[in-house]
Amino acid sequence: MNPTFKCCSSLYDPVVSPKPIQSLEHTDESTLIIVRHGESMWNEKNLFTGCVDVPLTRRGVEEAIEAGRRISTMPLDIVYTSALVRSQMTAMLTLTQHCCQKVPIIIHKENAEAEIWSQIYSEDTKNQSIPVVKAWQLNERMYGDLQGLNKHETAQVFGKEQVLRWRRTYEVRPPNGESLEMCLQRAVTYFKENIEPQLMAGKHVMVVAHANSLRSIIMYLDNLSPQEVIKLELSTGVPMLYIYKDGKFIRRGSPAGTKEAGVYAYTSNLALYKDQMLLQGNLSK
């Protein structure tokens, strides 16, 4: 059974504010939010990016902030990002908009010393933080010899059909790169071993990653065929919502949505949580 959705205590001062709203009833559902990073500088230049570590554009920053507004009243316990800066920037900017006002803390477990040096020794501070876990397994598909090349110019050299095969077929690898199938193996394995157990335990999770690593995860969540997944398009900076309930993933939002009402179909529990969060925000003013 999932733990209670708890309203964020940082939104009110118990000395000057009215009595806080009671926590929601226990529920057997947890939420999974999936976000492709905002526009990167190489997205803007139409370059094959892959695992090259480039930051967001100004537009990408705005997309991340807008994504944060759209998920601002969603329950959230833990965030997973790739090891690439465009994913981490998007996650951090998104979390600045969340109504719980918790501080995102990147978890460092590269070695024993890093883990010790980044310890937090205040339980109150921990309770007002959201852990952010980096995982290279969520990185974008590695495009090999294509990385840094202009997509349009590459199509002129090798032909549109060949470039399309490299980009949109399931098993074909670009020169010295990964196929979507290879990307899926690492991303979905990580999801099953690390993220799905959090959802099973009732935690509410956000994953911020890349077009191909997220395609891979969505293929698993929606039970898509290789033919279906290669047609899946994910817009930068647009959140997608899933509900995990009774051991199943239920998609409740579309990446094509442009406004909150179009992105999410709220469950009754999420609607109640949202209303309480908004009311608490008003009480704290």
The residues assigned a catalytic role are: 37, 140
In the block, tokens 């976000």 appear at 35
Distance between CA atoms of residues 274 and 282, nearest Å: 12
- Name the percent of the chain in helix, strand, coil, to the closest 5: 45, 15, 40
CA distance 76 to 103: 12
Task: Characterize the bridge pairing of strands 205-209 and 78-81.
Answer: parallel
Residue 109 Cα to chain centre, angstroms: 20
Type of residue numbered 203:
K
In this structure, what DSSP letter does residue 191 have?
A: I
Query: Residue 135 half-sphere exposure, CB side, CA atoms within 13 Å?
Result: 22
Amino acid at 242: Y
Judge whether 61 and 265 are in contact, CB under 8 Å: no
Structure tokens at 42: 């190489």
> Of the candidates 132, 217, 216, 151, which has an alpha carbon nearest to the alpha carbon of residue 179?
216
Q: Environment class of residue 216 by beta-carbon count within 10 Å: exposed (0-12), middle (13-18) or buried (19+)?
A: buried
Maximum pairwise Cα distance, the chain = 69
